[in-house]
Structure 1
Amino acid sequence: MEIEYIPLEFLKPYDKNAKIHTSKQIQEIANSIESFGFNDPIGIWHDTIVEGHGRYEAAKLIGMKEVPCIKLDQLTDEQRKAYTLVHNQTTLSSGFDCDILNDELISIQNIDMSDFGFDLSFLEEDEEQENKENERERTNKAYNLELFDENDAAGFFQMPIIKNDNVIPDDLLGMNYMLSSDNKEVGIHMYVDDYQFERLWNDPDKYLDVMREYQCVFSPDFSLYMDMPMAMKIWNVYRSRMLGNYWQRNGIKVIPTVSWAEEETFSFAFDGIPEESIVTVSTIGVKQNPYALSVWKAGMDAMIEHIKPSVILVYGGKLDYDYGDIKVRYYDNKVTERMKATKEVT
C-alpha cells in the first residue's frame, strides 16, 4: 500500500457512515494530530472515505489542506460497505487492561492525556484518598487514637487498663514541679488544675524521660464536674486511663487516680482498674460541703465494691469514713499546708 497526500476538498465522507463522532471526540483527535502528527492514513475508495471520518473532521478543524491516504479501490462496493462497519466495530470491541492503562497514564507526566479523551479522575481519587489518609493521621494524633489498644481495655466504654504496679510512694510532688525538683524519691501526683496536665495529653511522649526518674506517677485527675455533660465525664476518665496505660507501657510505674461524680458515673468511673490494685483518691474540696461529701462517700462505697483495692492513697487529708480492712495512706495537700504556714507566720 502506498500513502498519498490528497487535498481534503477532494475527499467525500460516506453519507451512510454509521459511526458517530461527537465534537468532543473530534477535538481529541485533533489534539492528537497536533501533538503527535497524522500517523494513521485515511482509507478511501475512489474519492469516498471508507475509514477515518473522525480524522477527516479533525483535519478540517485544525486547518489542514491535505491528509495522508491509502486507496482501497480493490474492494467491491459491498466489501467497502462491510469494511467500514467492520473497521469501526473492531476498534470498539475491546477495551483496556485497566491496571496497565492506569500505570501507563501515571508514568506520563508531561502530557495531559485528558486532551485525548482519557479519564484521569482515578488520579484525583488517589490524591483524595491520600488526603483522607493524611486527615485520618491528623485525627488519630489529635485524639491519641494510636495509643489505644482494644485488647488492653475493659468495660463497655473500653477504658484502657492501668495494671497494679504495687508501689507506694514515700511522698508526693505536684506534676507542675517535676521538671525542677532534685528529689526523685517521691511520686508525682496530678491533683492540680486541669490546664497543667493538658500538655501531657497533647504530647504524651514529651515527659516520659522525666517521669521515669520518679518512684511513680499518678494518672491525671481530669475533672468530673457535676454540671458537665456525661459524654465529657466519660472522655475525661478515658483520658486519665489512656495516659496511665501508655506511661506504663513505656516503663513508668503508675497509680490510677480514681474520681467520680453522681451515681450515673459509677458505670464507667472504675473501669480499667483491676481488683486489688493500689489506687489514689482526693478529698480536696469535699470536707466543707455536705452534698459533695455525700457524693464522695457514695462513690467510695461503689469504688471499694467494684475494685476492692489493696491500698488507697488519699491526698488531701482524712475524712470521717470507714475503709474497713483496706490499708490507707494519707498525703498532705502541700498547697494547703503552705497557705496555713504563711497565715501562722503573718
Structure 2
Amino acid sequence: MNNLKIEYVDIGTIKPYCKNARHNDGEATEKVAASIKAFGFQQPILVDDNNVIITGHTRLKAALSLGIDKIPIAHAVNLTEEQIKAYRLADNRVAEYSTWDKELLNIELAEFETIDMSQFGFDLSVTGLDFGEDNSESEQIEEDTEDFHRDTTINQYNLFDYDDTRTDGKYNMPILQGVDHIPSDLQGFNYVLNKPDTSKGVHFFLDDYQFERIWQRPDFYIEKLLDFDCVLTPDFSLYLDMPIAMQVWNIYRSRLIGQIMQDYGITVIPTVSWSTKDSFDFCFDGLPKNATLAVSTIGVKQNKEQFQIWVDGMDEMIKRLSPIKIIVYGGKVEYDYKSIEVVYFDNATTERMKKNGR
C-alpha cells in the first residue's frame, strides 16, 4: 500500500484547479489564514501529478495572504483522472453534511474558561467560534445549524443554480438558448460513464430512473458530458394521469439542467415534451424559437389517442417556436413537418431487440 509523502515546495509551483466550484474568498480565507498563523501549516495541500490542486484551494489563498514562500503538499496516490475529479467534488461537499453535538461542544468550550489562552500566543477566535460572555457561541452554533439545513435543502433542489433573471412564463421556466446543430449520432446517457463515445450527442430518452442521477448530482455528471458533441435535455416523463403540478416540476427540471449545461459551455439541444392540451400552458416556456429541437415518438403509435396527443403537441410546438430543425427519436410517424428539416434517430433499445429476433 502506497503512503502519502509530504514535501515542501515553492508556493508559486502550485496551480489552482480552473473549474473549482467552491467559493472560498473573503471570510473563509481569513479564518484559515488565522489558523495557519496560530497553529502552523498542519495539513498539506493535495495535488495531482501536474501540481494542480485537488483539495486545499482555501489553504493556498491563506498562505499567499500571509506571504508564505514554501508550503507542504502531497501527491494523490493511485487515483485516476476521473477519481480525482470525483474526489475534488466529494471533499468540498461532505463538510456540508456535518453538524455539531451542542452538548459535547459546550463541555469542550467550558474547559477553556479556566485557561489563560494568551500564554499560548493565540486567540481562540481562530476556531471561528464566538467566545463572548453572553454565550453567543451557542447562538452562533444554532444559526450555523439552521444555515446547514437551509443550504442542504437548497442543494437538494439545485436552487443555487436557479437564476430568476433567466426565466420565462407563469412558472419561471429557465430559458435555453437556441442552437442550429445536428449530431452525427446519439448515445444514451446510461453509457456516458462506462462506454462513452464523445463523437456522438447524448440523449435522455430513457426511463426516468436512469437520469435522476443528473438531477441529484448535476455538477458531477455534467462534467462527464463536456467533451461530447452535444447533449439533449432530459426527457422527464409527462404521463397523462400525472398531476399537473408534477408535470410542471418535470418540465422545470429539464429546463434547469439544460441551462446549467449551457453555462458549462455544452452545445444543448432542448427536448420538447407535452401531455394533454392543459400542458401547453407551460411545456413550451423557456424554449428557443428558430432553433433545433428534439422530440420522441416512442409509444405514440400504441393507439389513436396517444398519436393524436402527439400530433396536437407537435402542431402547437411548430406554431409557437418555428423550429428550423427537428430531431425525432424513436422512428417515423405519419406527420407533415412542412418545410422543417427533420432528422430521425432510431430507438437503440428497439433496434437491438430486432437484431436479437425479439
Task: State the TM-score, normalized to the length of structure 2.
Answer: 0.61
1:72-111 correspondence to structure 2 within 5 Å = 110=113
1:45-84 correspondence to structure 2 within 5 Å = none
Structure 1 residue 122: Cα displacement: 5.8
CA separation in 2, counterparts of 1:157 and 1:138?
Answer: 23
Per the alignment, residue 168 of structure 1 pairs with: 182
Per the alignment, residue 306 of structure 1 pairs with: 320
CA separation in 2, counterparts of 1:260 and 1:124?
Answer: 51
Per the alignment, residue 331 of structure 1 pairs with: 345
CA separation in 2, counterparts of 1:215 and 1:123?
Answer: 52
Structure 1 residue 288: Cα displacement: 2.1
Are positions 1:237 and 2:251 aligned together? yes
Structure 1 or 2, whichever has the larger Rg, is 1
CA separation in 1, counterparts of 2:250 and 2:192?
Answer: 22
Q: What count of residue pairs does the alignment treat as equivalent?
A: 233
Q: Helix, strand or coil for the counterpart of 1:343?
A: coil
Name stretches of at least 5 consecutive residues in structure 2 with no aligned partner: 1-108, 115-131
Distance 1:221 1:124, change over 3 A: same
Amino acid corresponding to residue 251 of structure 2 in structure 1: V
CA separation in 1, counterparts of 2:337 and 2:303?
Answer: 20
Q: Deviations over 1:79-137 (max 9, x none)?
A: xxxxxxxxxxxxxxxxxxxxxxxxxxx999628xxxxxx99476554433322211110
Distance 1:107 1:121, change over 3 A: closer
Per the alignment, residue 283 of structure 2 pairs with: 269
Q: Do the aligned residues in 1 keep the contact of 2:180 with 2:325 (CA within 8 Å)?
A: no
Q: Helix, strand or coil for the counterpart of 1:181?
A: coil
Q: Deviations over 1:185-239 (max 9, x none)?
A: 2111100111110110100011233212211011101111111111111010000
CA separation in 1, counterparts of 2:154 and 2:259?
Answer: 17
CA separation in 1, counterparts of 2:352 and 2:328?
Answer: 18
Task: State the TM-score, normalized to the length of structure 1.
Answer: 0.63
Q: Deviations over 1:146-197 (max 9, x none)?
A: 0111111111111111111322101111111122335322111100111110
CA separation in 2, counterparts of 1:109 and 1:311?
Answer: 70
CA separation in 2, counterparts of 1:109 and 1:306?
Answer: 68
Per the alignment, residue 138 of structure 1 pairs with: 152
1:193-232 correspondence to structure 2 within 5 Å = 193-232=207-246
Q: Hey, which bits of structure 1, 4+ residues long, moved more than 6 A?
A: 106-109
CA separation in 2, counterparts of 1:183 and 1:110?
Answer: 62
Structure 1 residue 296: Cα displacement: 0.7
Amino acid corresponding to residue 277 of structure 2 in structure 1: E
Q: Helix, strand or coil for the counterpart of 2:342?
A: strand
Q: Helix, strand or coil for the counterpart of 1:169?
A: coil
Per the alignment, residue 95 of structure 1 pairs with: none
CA separation in 2, counterparts of 1:296 and 1:178?
Answer: 29
Per the alignment, residue 52 of structure 2 pairs with: none
Per the alignment, residue 316 of structure 1 pairs with: 330
1:275-290 correspondence to structure 2 within 5 Å = 275-290=289-304
Match of 2:164 among 150, 156, 159: 150
CA separation in 2, counterparts of 1:120 and 1:299?
Answer: 64
Name stretches of at least 5 consecutive residues in structure 1 with no aligned partner: 1-105, 112-117
